[in-house]
Amino acid sequence: MIGTRRCTLWWTSELAGRRRSASKNLPFLAGGIILLALLLWGSAPVRAQEASEDRPTPSSVDEVVNPIDRTFEKAPPREVPEKPVHPFFRDQKLDLNLRTFYKYNDKGADNSLSEAWAIGGALTYKSGYLLDRFALGAAVYTSQPLYAPEERDGTLLLKPGQKGYTVLGQLYGEIKVVPDNFFRLYRQEYNTPYINKNDFRMTPNTFEGYTFQGAYGGKDGAPGFRYGGGYISKIKERNSDEFVWMSQDARRR
């Protein structure tokens, strides 16, 4: 009995010791809980303020967005800065000119007819300037028969024999010396009183040559003049796909 009482007293004293140690830790535990509550309470206004800065105050019930709707919202696209493009590519031009032409001509005197219906046009390219000085250009021309009786040749819409053709009519380099003053080299078109495109069929005349053209004045109503010169070696007639010497073409006439 005495041993039992001692055991009971020992167990009771141990429990009491634990209670005393727990009672000593209660102030620290309570202080931690209070500090955590203060931190959570203080962060709530900040989060509310951040949310209010992200979204304007709704002016009607229809504009209120609940958390479920917000999960399906897409983020705005990220703006990617544009990369600079070189003027050689930025200022390039590509033009497509489509044509169709029907011509019926009754010569009457010798009882002969010329008739054809053609389709075609031009694809023209011009680059921007490299180093603000050099540019390239090209043009492809074509004329193809839709209706062209072989015995009614002579409309100048097609090659002799009522045949279609495709030709690289322009291919040139351009050198800008100063603004409005250019050297142009190789195959190109001109539109002057003596050498011109004669462009009222399917494709124009183009030429092979080396020229200098320029202008001075003439802006904002001021007087001005244009000038030019060069060497023209070959011509492609308006219904041809080959360049021939100017002297050879003159003999044909």
Give the pLDDT mean for 105-109. Answer: 76
> What does the pLDDT look like over 8-38, one tens digit per residue?
334 444 444 444 444 555 566 666 677 666 5
Give the pLDDT mean for 50-73. Answer: 59
Give the pLDDT mean for 135-149. Answer: 97
Average pLDDT taken over every residue of the chain: 80
135 contact partners, CB below 8 Å, separation of at least 6: 88, 126, 127, 128, 129, 173, 174, 176
pLDDT at 13 (0 to 100):
42
Q: Which strand (E) or helix (H) includes residue 54?
A: helix 2-54
Global confidence as pTM? 0.65
6 pLDDT band (50/70/90 cuts)? very low
Assigned superfamily of 89-252: Porin (2.40.160.10)
Contact 181, 214 (CB under 8 A): yes
Give the pLDDT mean for 4-10. Answer: 40
Number of helical (H) and strand (E) elements in the chain, helices listed first: 4, 8
How far apart are alpha carbons 110 and 65 in whole angstroms? 89
94 pLDDT more than 80: yes
Give ∠ CA 176-177-179 in degrees, rounded to 5: 70
DSSP for residue 59: S
> What does the pLDDT look like over 182-228, one tens digit per residue?
999 999 999 888 889 999 899 999 999 999 989 888 777 777 888 88
All structural domains of the chain with their residue ranges: 2-71, 89-252
- Rg over CA atoms, the chain: 45
Contact 89, 129 (CB under 8 A): no
